[in-house]
Amino acid sequence: MAQQKALHLPSLQALRSFEALARLGSLTEAADYLNLTRSAISHQLRLLEDQLNLRLYERRGRGVILTPAGQLYASEVREVLQSLERIHANLPDQEYNGHLHVCMPPGFASSVVSRHINDFYRTYPTIRLHLSTNREDETINQPNFDLFVVFGDGAWSDHHVELLAQPMYQPVCSPSLLNELNLNHPRDLTRATLLHLHDAHDWQLWLASCPGKHEVKVESGIHFSNILLVLHAALSGQGVAIGDDVVCGDSLRQGQLIRPFPERIPSDKAYYLVTPHSRLEDPNVQAFSDWLKKLLAGLAGPA
């Protein structure tokens, strides 16, 4: 079977010259717009007309008018050039490929990143992303990771540190538990099971900010070693937990968790993006960092 010969298409410069002429109506203005000489524009237009075997325009005084064929062709050429501009605008500034290893807290990974991670994959399909969660006894000096999200005080002088989010603490529980216990005031927590992450520190901070006296036994309740266990227990109606608006944000917006009380306090820690200096210029690291900051900015606001 004989192969078809490739069509000999006009040059991009010839098409741009004709589009500028059609839009501006003047050889001089088209030349100025494309930063070419008037003779160069005329040459490109002659080549285009010879190749198409069509008369595309006629001179009228100091300007030009398009022939009917020229008007039709100009409309098609304009669409093609606009499409090429859109393609060029959507090209990534850098080449993204290879592996990227990111480590972050379990609650942040599960409740924030994992719920939106396919958006990153669709934007950067050539990056092989590996997400891991860290234990509290692990440090940010692990050489097998390119980037860290850390919940802490930001004091890592040997790394590049950027604040991601300063969360607010508040009690959270399931709607069914709120109705069951009729929680209207912090003193009503005496009827609830308190859910703790490790110890009573977060509950102590929040209760200390509440006006008036209360008889809540802050040490009572159930202690968990993992924030995911705390959140799952709260979602299942097992008790009331101290949650932050970052990790609990989606669950609050969807009504899976609610705030029984209006009092909120700023956390004494924050979420930070921590990058080894040797990885700062890596395009993959920059891509994930930018995506994560945009994600958190989009999720910010009332939950």
Question: Which residue, of 89, 107, 136, is where some domain finishes?
Answer: 89
Beta-carbon count within 10 A of 186 CB: 19
Phi, psi of 176 (to 5 degrees): -65, -40
CA distances from 195 to 111, 165, 203 (A): 18, 24, 9
Residue 194 lies in a domain: yes
3-class DSSP string for 55-109: CCEEEECCEEEECHHHHHHHHHHHHHHHHHHHHHHHCCCCCCCEEEEEEECHHHH
Regarding whether 279 and 251 lie in a shared domain, the answer is: no
pLDDT higher than 50, residue 82: yes
Please tell me the predicted confidence (pLDDT) of residue 208: 86
Angle, helices 12-24/27-34, rounded to nearest 10 degrees: 130
Regarding whether 204 and 116 lie in a shared domain, the answer is: no
Regarding whether 193 and 107 lie in a shared domain, the answer is: no
Please tell me the predicted confidence (pLDDT) of residue 23: 92
pLDDT higher than 70, residue 7: no
Regarding whether 143 and 282 lie in a shared domain, the answer is: yes
Please tell me the predicted confidence (pLDDT) of residue 1: 44
Please tell me the predicted confidence (pLDDT) of residue 63: 82
For 222-246, the pLDDT digits (tens) are: 999 888 999 999 999 999 999 988 9
Report the pLDDT averaged over residues 96-101.
88
Regarding whether 284 and 138 lie in a shared domain, the answer is: yes
How far is it, in rounded angstroms, from Cα 94 to Cα 242?
Answer: 42
Residue 4 lies in a domain: no
Would you say how long the chain is, in residues? 303
Regarding whether 137 and 248 lie in a shared domain, the answer is: no
Regarding whether 251 and 123 lie in a shared domain, the answer is: no
At 260 the three-state DSSP class reads coil
Regarding whether 262 and 241 lie in a shared domain, the answer is: yes
Residue 229's nearest CA partner among 221, 241, 217, 245 is: 241
pLDDT higher than 80, residue 87: no
Which segments of the chain are extended strands (E)?
A: 57-60, 63-66, 98-104, 127-133, 147-152, 160-165, 168-172, 194-197, 222-224, 240-244, 265-266, 270-275
More confident residue, 86 or 168: 168
Regarding whether 84 and 16 lie in a shared domain, the answer is: yes
Question: Which residue, of 54, 89, 124, is where some domain finishes?
Answer: 89
CB-based contact 182:188 (threshold 8 Å): yes
* CATH number, position 22: 1.10.10.10
Regarding whether 280 and 153 lie in a shared domain, the answer is: yes
Structural domains in the chain (count): 3
Residue 218 lies in a domain: yes
Regarding whether 256 and 139 lie in a shared domain, the answer is: no
Tokens representing 204?
């102590």
CB-based contact 205:221 (threshold 8 Å): no
Please tell me the predicted confidence (pLDDT) of residue 103: 92
Please tell me the predicted confidence (pLDDT) of residue 288: 95
Q: Distance from CA of residue 28 to its chain's centroid?
A: 45
Residue 157 lies in a domain: yes
Q: Which of 36-40, 151-155, 173-177, 211-215 has the weakest average pLDDT?
A: 211-215
Report the pLDDT averaged over residues 107-126.
92
How far is it, in rounded angstroms, from Cα 26 to Cα 16?
Answer: 14
How far is it, in rounded angstroms, from Cα 259 to Cα 249?
Answer: 11
Question: Which residue, of 89, 109, 131, is where some domain finishes?
Answer: 89
Q: Distance from CA of residue 175 to its chain's centroid?
A: 30
* CATH number, position 251: 3.40.190.10
- pLDDT band of residue 94 (cuts 50, 70, 90) is low
More confident residue, 297 or 288: 288
Residue 5 lies in a domain: no
Regarding whether 125 and 211 lie in a shared domain, the answer is: no
How far is it, in rounded angstroms, from Cα 166 to Cα 157?
Answer: 19
Residue 78 lies in a domain: yes
Q: Say which residue the tokens 């592996």 belong to.
A: 99
Residue 32 lies in a domain: yes
Residue 2 lies in a domain: no
Which residues span the domain enclosing 107?
98-166+269-299
